[in-house]
A and B are shown apart, each in its own frame.
Chain A
């Protein structure tokens, strides 16, 4: 071939191979960043963990995977047994007799929520639905009704839906007609329940009612409400089955649902309604005296794979009913003071926060101040929307029971005013509240008597109460004891706006008692939780002088009635009288709990109060001193103008996320290798028990400035390996039902899914012991699947019934949340699993969660949402992770909040471990330097291998262009805080099962393929290039020209 013809071919080949080499090389870098996703999609394993069983600090409790699976299943069933709440039980509708004939009505009766497998539900092969569960207990299900519901109305089928990453079509459960599983965010909610007039149209036989033996049949109607991340119910947004807007509460039973109940009453002699929801439904029509009153109501929460087996055992009386309501059910949600300020709206002059190229962090950019969605997507500070949590500590029963108490005992407090009344011209507890917190009927008659209370009033002391349970029945069974307290409400409190609930839940426990017998159960709770926060005068925790009343009671209303009786009042007579034990404090105490963990406890969130910014009494927070004058108004209907504030500039700065600004605090030391490494050889007992061991400072001083800041602000969904440190890769897992990753037994081929927990039912179980057992099983499952970091429980307070994520949380009550969270996380910690609760800091609505400002008093700040987390993060030995809220506290992004994170969490609570943000969706809202300074250890940006601040154009940070090594190297405080944060994170890793094992990276087939591609293309490019040069330089032969 002539050289002139071959030369261009060689040149072309050289170009082609060079292109392929570049694609393979950069592609390798990209693949590295998505390694865990690629492993998941391609079924490969990049990291092999070698467990040395003899040396392991944390070992599984189970010898085989079958035992592990059985233990998890057992807990799941027990959650159903102990969490199912009998709310109403008339005409002996419950327990269902043996071989009872039952007719199931309602879509959720045949497809309980959630029906889809995924994060929320394990989806094990042997999962149990309601029909399975009842049938297993000997119940006869009416086949005619079941047939037309399942075959004609629901028609469960499988649709092939493309996998989001691979495009592979995967089978997905679908129905022809089903309730709306995701309510959406602040939109309309269609209550899809098929009204009976449509039954025949949809295929029910004309004589279907003839198939029911009315005299001997019980109807069970099941109604569900969906839920989901990013979802918020909007009051008044209901749409009926036909698509018509009704203007009614989406959580209230719809006319279609009531029609189903009516037909159930028409065809069956008794009717039981099951509530299958994590959001409190409005049950006025079916409760006592309601226009559609039914015989029984029971709560089954949001179920998982096996909970219905437990629920069926309760419904059939195989076990005693011991569940209790973790929330208060009211006749109208508008009666809830927190609902007055929910959802939020914009400041009158929110645009004042926007900038037009003047923000030095974003030069030349226009940054608006409008709301943004969960995934950001627009240039906005997202600081224009706010709510005022004006109800203060009075959330749920604390409002209703306190107002009731004051109506009886302190009429001068105007408790009977019309303000907040929805059922008449004057507020009346009996009309407003249907079922209170802690309510739950037992099949077996029993009495709970408080025998003694010991209060150890020291900083580390406990309240220890002994409760005697007497089983008055002729069957052995389990019983629930609940401990409540009333703290004195004094003139000092009234003067200084220290709010006190008339009744506070403290803790609970369950005990088995033989027929006719008695048993004692001891309930303990840290004494610090008796203290109240005085943000006006003492500016610390106080204990008022006077009588502290303790009682054991079946619910908060029974408890407050006990207090009324002992104080000489006349209660409403709806509960049985119980024993009250007094503990007297002789003098006012503002010192015992004023220092915690060696840190002086004082105000850290004055600016969470809207009045701090407006400079006047714009907000009146709810006070029991005068219910009428202080009942909340909607502060989104009050004109709040940032521009009118005497602190206008400071306010704008905070809303722009400039909580901390980079400044010259001195040159930061560059990290240099000093031989310290993060491995089992160097992290011994002295190191993992003492974060002040010199090893840790030496280790983090090795981290370069680039990586110290980069690893924090690009934390990702898995940790990055830091140069010099050589820490292991730690992959994070969702979610609140347990690890979503399954375990496939190679021998049997069976896959075990361990995300089979129900947070709703563990809440209504009121049983910290069961919660501990679940936590331990959750931890064990982590050891089996070799995953050590989990966002595995939700502890945000259920402020209102409308939060679409209430199913992830425990209760409206901070202390029930505190004790259940404490137990779950202690169980997990005992197995060495980093289980982080979420979302700390008032993430109590999903609507505009990524930017809304929640204003409140410091008493609310400390005694509500944070108290729910305190039990885990301060009281657990070994709780080592937490995820922070998405929203703002006051004007400050919760992830920037030094008061909450540095002063309370790390200071007062002594927490020395991992802190993550929620999803980093908006660089204008999440500010890198502010998150570093608040002691965040990892910002959740979901990328991998990007622990640097030089990956953007021109060597700056790829997300925050104002961040670079040059920009931070003279801010010693920032760099050292970043290293400190990484120390916290590595310390958490060291104290977990992560150091049980060695994690070795291995080459997968696609690693090898990429390596081969790089090598071959490089060689071929070189060969072709040389050939081309040679051919070009060769003298042309005669005749070739």
Chain B
């Protein structure tokens, strides 16, 4: 086993993991904060987010190991699988979040004039903005994870 340099792929993967973590935090704040989506948790979102982060981290860690022969190939496959599954999980988080929020966002932003004032309270608008921010974060982390999948997490020895 030998030390290697941190590759560009590893850096992108690292970015994807950090972005996913940020997305999870933004989501958690949104669910905890006062407003329309307070307490409105999304099924499996936390689980999928953590799994995605773990897989991305695992890919980075595996990429730092240098093993030759069959073990090396297996490790490459494992790291690659992590890179494939992580964006899939983040995509599932994103679309589940959109699915859970779209009706509420419709109420808040597109209610007719009769009820707009009572729906568009500062708390509800803040809650809606938080939801949208979480969606954007998940979208960006998913894209970063996809890009990372096109790169290698390991590099030639230093």
Taking Cβ atoms with an 8 Å cutoff, the residues of A that contact B are: 8-9, 11-12, 14-16, 18-19, 22-23, 26-27, 29-30, 33-34, 164-165, 182, 184-185, 228-231, 365, 373-375, 377-379, 942-943, 951-954, 958, 1025, 1028-1029, 1032-1033
Which stretch of B20-28, B35-43, B129-137 is in the interface? B35-43
Closest to B47 in A: A953
- Secondary structure type dominating chain B contacts: helix
Are the CB atoms of A15 and B87 closer together than 8 Å?
yes
Are the CB atoms of B43 and A958 closer together than 8 Å?
yes
Are the CB atoms of B91 and A22 closer together than 8 Å?
yes
Are the CB atoms of A15 and B84 closer together than 8 Å?
yes
CA distance A682 to B44 in the complex (A): 41
Are the CB atoms of B95 and A1028 closer together than 8 Å?
no
B112-158: which residues lie under 8 A (CB-CB) from chain A? 113-115, 117-119, 121, 123-124, 142, 145-147, 149-152
Interface residues on B, range: 35 or more
B84-118: which residues lie under 8 A (CB-CB) from chain A? 84-85, 87-88, 91-92, 95-96, 98-99, 102-103, 106-107, 110-111, 113-115, 117-118
CA distance A533 to B133 in the complex (A): 58
CA distance A952 to B152 in the complex (A): 38
Tell me whether B83 is interfacial, beta carbon within 8 Å.
Answer: yes
Q: Known contacts A164-B106, A958-B43; is A15 also within 8 Å of B146 by CB?
A: yes
Q: Known contacts A26-B95, A1029-B77, A1032-B76; is A182 also within 8 Å of B87 by CB?
A: no
The 7 closest A-B pairs by CB, nearest first: A12-B150, A373-B118, A15-B149, A164-B110, A19-B91, A228-B114, A15-B84
Closest to B42 in A: A953
Are the CB atoms of A165 and B146 closer together than 8 Å?
no
Contacts of A954 in B (CB 8 A): 43
Closest to A959 in B: B40
**A-B contacts, 13 listed (Cβ < 8 Å):** A22-B88, A26-B96, A27-B95, A185-B117, A373-B119, A374-B119, A375-B119, A943-B103, A951-B43, A953-B42, A1025-B84, A1029-B77, A1033-B73
Contacts of B99 in A (CB 8 A): 26, 29-30, 33
Given contacts A12-B149, A15-B149, 5 further A-B contacts (CB under 8 A): A14-B149, A23-B95, A30-B98, A1029-B77, A1033-B73
The distance from the CB of B20 to the nearest CB of chain A, in whole angstroms, is 14
CA distance A14 to B88 in the complex (A): 10
Taking Cβ atoms with an 8 Å cutoff, the residues of B that contact A are: 9, 34-36, 38-39, 41-44, 73, 76-77, 80, 83-85, 87-88, 91-92, 95-96, 98-99, 102-103, 106-107, 110-111, 113-115, 117-119, 121, 123-124, 142, 145-147, 149-152
Are the CB atoms of A165 and B76 closer together than 8 Å?
no
Contacts of A365 in B (CB 8 A): 39
CA distance A19 to B90 in the complex (A): 9
Closest to A26 in B: B95
Contacts of A33 in B (CB 8 A): 99
CA distance A211 to B73 in the complex (A): 98
Contacts of A953 in B (CB 8 A): 41-44
CA distance A1025 to B106 in the complex (A): 39
The distance from the CB of B43 to the nearest CB of chain A, in whole angstroms, is 5
CA distance A365 to B80 in the complex (A): 42
Contacts of B145 in A (CB 8 A): 15
CA distance A14 to B149 in the complex (A): 9
CA distance A943 to B101 in the complex (A): 12
Residue from B95, B146, B150 within 8 A of A30 (CB atoms): B95
Residue from A16, A164, A373 within 8 A of B146 (CB atoms): A16
Are the CB atoms of B150 and A23 closer together than 8 Å?
no
Contacts of B119 in A (CB 8 A): 373-375, 377
Closest to B145 in A: A15
Q: Known contacts A11-B150, A377-B35; is A19 also within 8 Å of B118 by CB?
A: no
